[in-house]
Amino acid sequence: MQYRRCGNSGLKLSAISLGLWHNFGHVDQLENCSNILKLAFDSGITHFDLANNYGPPPGSAEENFGRLLKRDFSGYRDELIISSKAGYTMWDGPYGDWGSKKYLVSSLDQSLKRLKLDYVDIFYHHRPDPETPLAETMAALDLIVRQGKALYVGISNYRPAEAAHAIQILQDLGTPCIIHQPKYSMYERWIEDGLLDLLGQQGVGCIPFSPLAQGLLTDKYLKGIPSDSRAAKAHGFLQKEQITPEVLTQLTKLNAIAESRGQKLAQMALAWILRDQRVTSVLVGASKPEQLADSLKCLDNTTFSADELGQIDLILANS
């Protein structure tokens, strides 16, 4: 495993982090979750990423992780980086969503109970709130650190201008933003338009989520939609309608480049993100241990030639 410094902070993260957005809810098998976590830790993954609403149902991923943390990892807390977030709908009423101090503090208190922890290592505001003053949201993150409920704070899904403002407020408060978690993949490249430059200049880490475009950037859909795939699940974010003939043509061409590099398509897609040194870590999900083991092989080759990058850009030009 490689470890990369998170911006200008003293924290290093494993280049591959395990995201528990999917596959760790009450709809999933607990022992399979346990096997995935054990393989991750044994492979050098130290960072486990959660949020209050991960499941399904919301909250169940934290409950299951907390249960397995106590059962299987009780002696390893100080070797783990555990993160959580709040910013999306978690409970009904005016205080269960967005970015007020009331919501963020209450949500983290609930998360800590589900996780059976005294603190998380990183706590994120999950998305910008168009109504709550940004100063209040950032002050809540500062308060949470001063209360000892989180060691570090970050932001997620913030566009460049919003991120710049949030980073400055936190800096002035004395609780620096150490990391930003944006959506980034070969199919979603908005962070290349200013955000990556901002993070590099400000010394803030970057940890992309959905690097495989919800599983689209794998070889599993090249010959149809498997019954156990994310696109086949009723509660999945990837829909069958997204897998169009045009997309399949692109995936086939990308897969050919991956094969020429000695990689699978998913491995190349992860390596493509990690090629940029401004990226601290990349979040991967896994529905079974074998899938995670496969993803880890991306670290064998994260270097791309100018010709390879040009071919990839050309294939994706019309996506």
pLDDT score of 69:
97
Residue 91 lies inside a defined structural domain of this protein? yes
Q: What is the pLDDT of residue 244?
A: 83
Which pLDDT belongs to residue 247? 87
Containing structural domain, residue 161: 3-214+276-286
- Average pLDDT of span 30-51: 98
Residue 269 lies in a domain: no
Give domain status of residue 94, yes or no.
yes
**The domain that contains 122 carries what CATH number?**
3.20.20.100
Residue 98 has pLDDT above 70, yes or no: yes
Residue 292 domain flag: no
Query: Is the pLDDT higher at 99 or at 228?
Result: 99
Average pLDDT on 71-92 reads 97
Q: Is residue 300 part of a domain?
A: no
Residue 113 lies in a domain: yes
> So what's the pLDDT on residue 318?
73
- pLDDT, residue 222, reads 86
pTM score: 0.93
Residue 239, pLDDT above cutoff 70: no
Per cent of the chain over pLDDT 70 is 94
Q: Is the pLDDT of residue 242 over 80?
A: no
DSSP strand pairing (12-14 vs 3-5):
antiparallel
266 lies in some domain: no
Q: Tokens 């829909």 correspond to what residue?
A: 239
pLDDT at 40 exceeding the cut of 70: yes
Counting the structural domains of the chain, the total is 1
- pLDDT confidence bin for 276, thresholds 50/70/90: very high
Predicted local confidence at residue 262, as pLDDT = 97
Mean pLDDT confidence for 292-300: 97
Question: What mean pLDDT comes out for the span 152-169?
Answer: 98
Tens of pLDDT along 110-139? 999 999 999 999 999 999 999 999 999 999
Average pLDDT score over residue span 153-175: 98
